[in-house]
Structure 1
Amino acid sequence: MEIRLLGTGSGDGWPNPWCTCRSCTWARATPGAARGQTSVLVDGTLLLDTGSARRATVPLDTVRTVLFTHAHPDHADPQPLLWRQARAAREGGLPPLEIAGPPAALDLCRDWVAPDDPVTWTPLRAGDQARLASGHRVRALPARHWPQDPHVGPALLYDVDATLFAAWDTGAPLPEAEHPTYEFVLLDCNNGFLPPYPEHHNLADFAATLADLRARGAIGPHTRVVAVSLSCANPPGPELDAHLSRLGAEAPPDGTLLVSRRAG
């Protein structure tokens, strides 16, 4: 598995364009430090959330499934589907595309797809398992992210091929579930040193969730733990890196490629 981190930031990105705090000032002054909304590309064929699709430095023409975590527009941005139509107008027909995720996220996208576009829709709810058109097998788990708001999804976390655990935009604790030992855990760390908040992790929640996942066996000695959904509530990069390192985690920059150690 190859995971391209298209974006690792929060909904307002980092730096927030309206903010002049210490963390945002550092991010503006440091080349390569800016972070877009959290979105990842898996094996070139699975796009998980679309918030940073506009910033992608790799082509997305091989994507066969767009998988959404929830319907907030920083994650389920439908505009990339319109750009796909523009490509078709210039170069001809489009390959099939599957759009998967919570029903509310799918509904957000339907008006952005042309009637003759070969798109299929795969609604997912917590507990569902599916083989996606990208070739990946996913298991959907409930996120703690406005769970009672029908306009959000409800929001989901994903186990992808028992290799990647995509767990952003969720509060602590995570739902009780059986987990394999993942190679990659991408975990929400939106709220930094802010007080506890039920819809996102702060750094204390992040540490507690990592301890819980280690106790469950979901994180092993070789698991790469990546903090995502990062906002300027976190300290500037070097301080954040030092803090995460003590927890056995990291915060690589947008554009980083994570590559599986497993053969095949």
Structure 2
Amino acid sequence: MEILFLGTAASEGFPNPFCSCENCTKAREEGKKSIRLRSSVLVDEELLIDFGPDIVSSTNRFGKNLSNIKHILITHGHSDHLFLKNFEYRNPIFSGTFENLYHCDLIVPDKLGTVIKEKIELPKVSLMSVEPYKTLHLNGYVIHTLKANHTSEYGETPLNYIIERNGIKLLYAVDSGKVLPETLEFIKNNIHYLDIVILDATMGFNKKYEFHMGYEEVLETRKILQNEGITDSNTKYIATHFSHLHNPVHSVLEEIYLKDNIITAYDGLKIKK
């Protein structure tokens, strides 16, 4: 399994174009890995998690062509994770090779499906509205839906995902506070072991918020998963979705997380397992 981080920032980007705080100022000075677009990941070049407003910028930045995308998973309806105009760019009016595009599965949380149908046409897309704790078998992938500890835009139930392929199991738990007890129970009973864990680190080091995690919650979550035998020393842990309000520049973040053997994600990071 190959995972490419297309974006690793929270809702406003990092730096925020309208902010001159210390973190934004230093990010502009440091550049490179400290410049973050809104959150999205590409798996095996055919499965995309979240489809936010920076998808054109991020795919062009890393030379990626989304014509081969077969599955799009949406965690929730907040605009940094779902930008509906993106779907129009697949359609014949914008795509000169529409006839060659794969028929794509679009997996979204429950009530979000109705909203999307009302707002946009989706040719060559199969829209699936799903509830938490379901298992889908799609084109060689096994996808498990989990209830995230987060807020919604349209009354939908925000989701995290576990993705299985070729014996590798990836947990994508971004835009979520601490793992809910029922989610932990589902993982224990149905997944048993995780090879890769990607966790929300929005709140960094100086503020607590129920519906996002920070550094301490990332460490606490790893401890819980390890104590349950769900992960071990061979599991790759990655922190992502950083807000400039609560996190320093990449070089500082990397130094902090490295001490705990956790990878600090940056735009363009590739993880292979």
| TM-score normalised per structure 2 | 0.87
Give the aligned partner of residue 183 of structure 1: 195
| TM-superposed deviation, 1:87 | 6.8
> 1:142 & 1:89 partners in 2: Cα distance?
35
Instruction: Indicate which of 138, 144, 162 corresponds to 2:143.
Output: 138
Map Cα deviations across residues 33-73 of structure 1 (whole Å, 9 max, x no partner).
Answer: 21111111111111110124222121111001111111111
> 1:31 & 1:236 partners in 2: Cα distance?
9
2:235 alignment partner, SS class: strand
2:38 alignment partner, SS class: coil
Classify 1:88/1:203 alpha carbon distance in 2 versus 1 (closer, same or farther; 3 Å): same
| TM-superposed deviation, 1:200 | 0.2
Give the aligned partner of residue 87 of structure 2: 81
Give the aligned partner of residue 226 of structure 2: 214
Unaligned ranges ≥5, structure 2: none
Percent identity, please: 27
Classify 1:7/1:215 alpha carbon distance in 2 versus 1 (closer, same or farther; 3 Å): same
| TM-superposed deviation, 1:251 | 1.1
Instruction: Indicate which of 245, 252, 256 corresponds to 1:239.
Output: 252
Give the aligned partner of residue 155 of structure 1: 158
State the one-letter code of the partner of 1:140.
T
| TM-score normalised per structure 1 | 0.89
Give the aligned partner of residue 18 of structure 1: 18
1:193 alignment partner, SS class: coil
> 1:41 & 1:67 partners in 2: Cα distance?
10
1:37 and 2:38 equivalent?
Answer: yes
State the one-letter code of the partner of 2:206.
L
Is the CA contact 1:228–1:251 (under 8 Å) kept in the aligned structure 2?
yes
Classify 1:182/1:65 alpha carbon distance in 2 versus 1 (closer, same or farther; 3 Å): same
| TM-superposed deviation, 1:150 | 7.0
Instruction: Indicate which of 103, 116, 126 corresponds to 1:96.
Output: 103
1:239 alignment partner, SS class: helix
1:185 alignment partner, SS class: strand
> 1:127 & 1:85 partners in 2: Cα distance?
32
1:220 alignment partner, SS class: coil
Matches within 5 A, 1:60-71: 60-71=66-77
1:229 and 2:241 equivalent?
Answer: yes
1:7 and 2:2 equivalent?
Answer: no
> 2:142 & 2:6 partners in 1: Cα distance?
21
Classify 1:170/1:31 alpha carbon distance in 2 versus 1 (closer, same or farther; 3 Å): same
> 2:225 & 2:265 partners in 1: Cα distance?
21
| TM-superposed deviation, 1:16 | 1.2
State the one-letter code of the partner of 1:248.
N
Is the CA contact 1:14–1:24 (under 8 Å) kept in the aligned structure 2?
yes
State the one-letter code of the partner of 1:53.
I
> 1:62 & 1:89 partners in 2: Cα distance?
13
Unaligned ranges ≥5, structure 1: none
State the one-letter code of the partner of 1:24.
C
**Aligned Cα RMSD in Å?**
1.9
Map Cα deviations across residues 226-252 of structure 1 (whole Å, 9 max, x no partner).
Answer: 111111111222221122112221213
> 1:49 & 1:154 partners in 2: Cα distance?
15
> 1:257 & 1:142 partners in 2: Cα distance?
26
Is the CA contact 1:69–1:155 (under 8 Å) kept in the aligned structure 2?
yes
Map Cα deviations across residues 169-197 of structure 1 (whole Å, 9 max, x no partner).
Answer: 11114432214332211100001123221
| TM-superposed deviation, 1:76 | 1.5
